[in-house]
Structure 1
C-alpha cells in the first residue's frame, strides 16, 4: 500500500473515532450488582458506639438498615449500599446522624425511600442515590441539611410520573436546608409541605413533573435553583411570607399546562430576579394577592405572564421580551403595574426620563376568543386576528395596565441574570466550533490527497 493511501486511511479512521460517542447511557435498573456476596451493613451499625464515625471499605453492602444512634457513615464512589427489599434502604430514627459520600441503590418500586429520615439534625451529603421509588424522605425532622447529593430515577424510562417517587420529599420538617443537589427524572424534584423556615438553594432539577413543589409552607426561601425540561419549574401553592428569587426555569413546554413559575393561593411573598425562558407560560399568577413580583426576566415564552383572579399584587421592573403573547389577565383587579419593559410596546417619552407617557394595557381579546374556541389559536398573529384585537376596546378602562412602562430594557440586569447561562452557551458553542474546524481541516486534507492520487 502506497504511503499516501495509508495516510488517507489513517485520517478516515481518526475521523470515525471522533464520531463515536464518548459515553453511553447507563441503565441502572438492568445493571444492578449481585446481592449474594454483599456485606450486611446492619451488623456493622449494630456493633458501633454512639458518636462513632464508620468509614466503609470499598465494596457492596446490603440493606435495608435502621440507624437508632448518632453515628456517622462515610464512604466514597467505591462503596455501594444495595437494597431490593420492599423497605426503605436506610431509616434514620436517631438525632445527629451523618451520611456522606457513597452510593445508594434503592431497587424496589414499593412506596418506600432510599433514605427515610425521622430524626433531627441529620446531615446527608455527597450521596449518589439511584431509586425506583422515592429518594430522600423527611418526616417530622427539623434542622436538617441535605447537601450536594445526586438523585436519579433508576426504573424504566417508560414509567409515568405517577409511578415514580419524589426526589426529596419533606413534610412537617422545619428549618431544613436543601442545597446544591441534582435531581433527574423523578416525579417532583423537591416536594415541600406543611413546613416553616426552609432554605431551598442552588439545586438543579431536570426532567421531572414539578421541579420544586411547595404546599403550605411559610417563611421560606427558594433561591438560585435551575430547572429545565420539567412540566413546571416551580409550583408554589398555599404559601405565604416566602421568597422566590434568582431562579432559572427554562424549557418547560412539553405539556399543555407547562409553566415556568406558578403562584396559586400565594400571599405576602416576593418573586424577584428570576429568569423564565422558553416555557409555555412564563409566570402564572392565580388567586394570589399581596405579592411583589419584581425584576424578573420573562423571555421567549408562549405566554409571558398570565393573571387569573389575581388581586392587589405589585409588578415592577420586570422585562417581557420575545414572548408570543406578552400578558393575559382574566378577572384580576387592583394589580399595580409600573416601570416594566414590554418589547412590543411602542411608547412615547416626551421628557427623556426613560418612561413612556403612554400606558400599556393588557388586551384580553385573544384569550377570550381562545377560551370560547381553542381552534382559534391557529390564527394567532394572523393579520385578521391582529386587526380584530386592535378594534377590541370594550372595558378598556378596566384592563390591567402598566401606567409607566419602560422605553428600553435594563441591560445591566439582563446581563447579570443571564451571564452564567451565556458563559456556558459560549463554552459549548466554542467546543463545537473547535471539533468542526478539526473535522473540516481533515476532510480538506483527504480531498486534496485523493485528488493527487487520482492524478
Structure 2
C-alpha cells in the first residue's frame, strides 16, 4: 500500500486587535500617540510566532491493490483523506465512517459475494467514484448520511442498486442495472438523482428504476430508464419532488407512478414511451402538475384514478395509446388544458365516477373518438373557450353522455 501525504492549504485570517482603551465597552484611558501601531505590530508578531509552531495540516492518499490494504486504509483514514483502488477485485461489506473519498481506477470492482451491501456511507460528505459494485443481497451502495456523492459508478446484480436514507446527497452519472430496484430513497429529502443510466432492474415482481418512499423535495432529472420492471419512476407517499427531463421506457406497468398521497409534485418535460399500462399514473394523489411531457405508445397516456383530485395536466403531447387521458374511480376537480392529443383510440376519456373536471384548450384530432364522458358535472369549455376537434361542429357533443363543448375552436 502506497501512502502519500499532501498539505492542505489553509488561509490564516489576521484579526484586528481590540482598540486600546476599549475594555468591556468603556473607554478607560487614551494611549499616547502611536500606541495603536505598536499594539498592531505586537499582535501580528504573536500570530506569526504561533503559526510557525503549528505544523501544516495534511491529507493522505492511500493507493491500494489488495483487500487487506483496502481494509487497513479504511481503518486508518481520517476526514479529508483519499483512497485510490487499483484495478482488481475487492470484497464487499465495507463501512465508511469518516468523510473520505474512495476513487476507483478503471477495472476496480467490489464484489460483495452476496454480502448485505458493497459499501455503506455513514459519514457526512463522503465521496465514491469510478467503482463497479456487484453481487449484493441488499444494496450495492448504502447512504446513511448527508452531503455524500456517488458518481461514475456501475452498480449491478443486487437487491437494490443504491439505497439512500440521508438528506442532501448527490447520485450522478452512474450505470445501475440488473437489480430489483435501481435507486431507493426512504424517508430521504432534498437529494439529487441526475443523469444516471438505469435499466433492466427487474429481478423481482415489484421492482422499479427509481423509488421514493415518504421522501420529499428531491430532484430526479435527466435519467435514462428502460426495462425497469413494474415502473421506471415511482413515488409512494412522497410530496414536493421535481421529476423532469427523464426518459422512461418499456416498463411492465407505468413509466411514472404516483401513489399513496404523493401530492404537490412536478412532472416536467419527461419522455415516456412504450409502458404497458400507462405512461403516467396518478393514484390517490393530489395537486400535482404534469407539464411539457411527451407521452407516446403506452396503454394509456395519462391515467388519473382512485380519488385523485386537483391535478393539472397541461401542455403535454400524448399519442398512440388506447386512451390519451383517462380519468377513473372518483377522480375530480382535475384540469386538462392545452394538451395535444392525437392518434389514440380515445383522446380524453372521463368514466362514470369522474366529476367536476375541466377540459379546455386541448387539440383533439386524428383520434378514433376525440372525447368521451360518462361522468357528471364535467366541463368541456370555460364559458368562452372550448377545445379544438378534427370534426368541428357549431356545438361539439361529447360521446358517452350529455356533456357538450359549447365553444369549440377552429
TM over 0.5, yes or no? yes
2:145 aligned residue: 119
1:240 maps to which of 238, 241, 263: 263
Point out where structure 1 has 5 or more consecutive residues left out of the alignment: 1-36, 154-163, 348-352, 365-394, 408-455
The answer on whether the counterparts of 2:363 and 2:387 sit within 8 Å (CA) in structure 1 is: no
Is residue 291 of structure 2 the alignment partner of residue 268 of structure 1? no
Is residue 303 of structure 2 the alignment partner of residue 288 of structure 1? no
**CA-CA distance at 1:252 after TM superposition:** 1.1
The answer on whether the counterparts of 1:340 and 1:406 sit within 8 Å (CA) in structure 2 is: no
**CA-CA distance at 1:272 after TM superposition:** 0.6
More helix by share: 1
Point out where structure 2 has 5 or more consecutive residues left out of the alignment: 1-64, 202-206, 372-385
Is residue 389 of structure 2 the alignment partner of residue 396 of structure 1? no
2:5 aligned residue: none
Q: CA RMSD in A?
A: 2.4
The answer on whether the counterparts of 1:339 and 1:402 sit within 8 Å (CA) in structure 2 is: no
- The aligned length equals 317
**CA-CA distance at 1:195 after TM superposition:** 1.5
Output the CA distance in 2 between the equivalents of 1:403 and 1:193. 44
Query: 1:262–1:57: structure 2 CA closer, same or farther, 3 Å change rule?
Result: same
2:191 aligned residue: 176
TM-score normalised per structure 2: 0.73
Matching of residues 106-145 of structure 1 within 5 Å: 107-108=135-136, 110=137, 112-139=138-165, 141-145=166-170
2:242 aligned residue: 221
Query: 1:361–1:266: structure 2 CA closer, same or farther, 3 Å change rule?
Result: farther
**CA-CA distance at 1:362 after TM superposition:** 4.7
Matching of residues 284-323 of structure 1 within 5 Å: 284-286=303-305, 287-308=307-328, 309-323=330-344
Q: Summarize deviations over 1:19-73 as a string: whole Å, max 9, x none.
A: xxxxxxxxxxxxxxxxxx9624333211212111222222222212001111011
Tell which structure's C-alpha radius of gyration is larger: 2
2:219 aligned residue: 199
**CA-CA distance at 1:132 after TM superposition:** 2.9
The answer on whether the counterparts of 1:338 and 1:403 sit within 8 Å (CA) in structure 2 is: no
**CA-CA distance at 1:329 after TM superposition:** 1.5
Output the CA distance in 2 between the equivalents of 1:86 and 1:125. 22
Matching of residues 56-455 of structure 1 within 5 Å: 56-105=85-134, 107-108=135-136, 110=137, 112-139=138-165, 141-153=166-178, 165-186=180-201, 187-208=207-228, 209-231=230-252, 232-237=254-259, 238-253=261-276, 258-286=277-305, 287-308=307-328, 309-330=330-351, 331-344=353-366, 358=394, 360=396, 362-364=398-400, 395-397=401-403, 404-407=407-410
Q: Determine helix, strand or coil for the equivalent of 1:282.
A: strand
Output the CA distance in 1 between the equivalents of 2:395 and 2:198. 43
1:39 maps to which of 63, 67, 91: 67
Query: 1:358–1:207: structure 2 CA closer, same or farther, 3 Å change rule?
Result: farther
More strand by share: 2
TM-score normalised per structure 1: 0.66
Query: 1:361–1:273: structure 2 CA closer, same or farther, 3 Å change rule?
Result: farther
Q: Summarize deviations over 1:175-228 as a string: whole Å, max 9, x none.
A: 011111111111200000112111110111110120000011121111011011
2:47 aligned residue: none
Output the CA distance in 1 between the equivalents of 2:397 and 2:157. 49
Output the CA distance in 1 between the equivalents of 2:109 and 2:363. 52
**CA-CA distance at 1:119 after TM superposition:** 0.7
Greater relative contact order (CA < 8 Å, ≥ 6 in sequence): 1
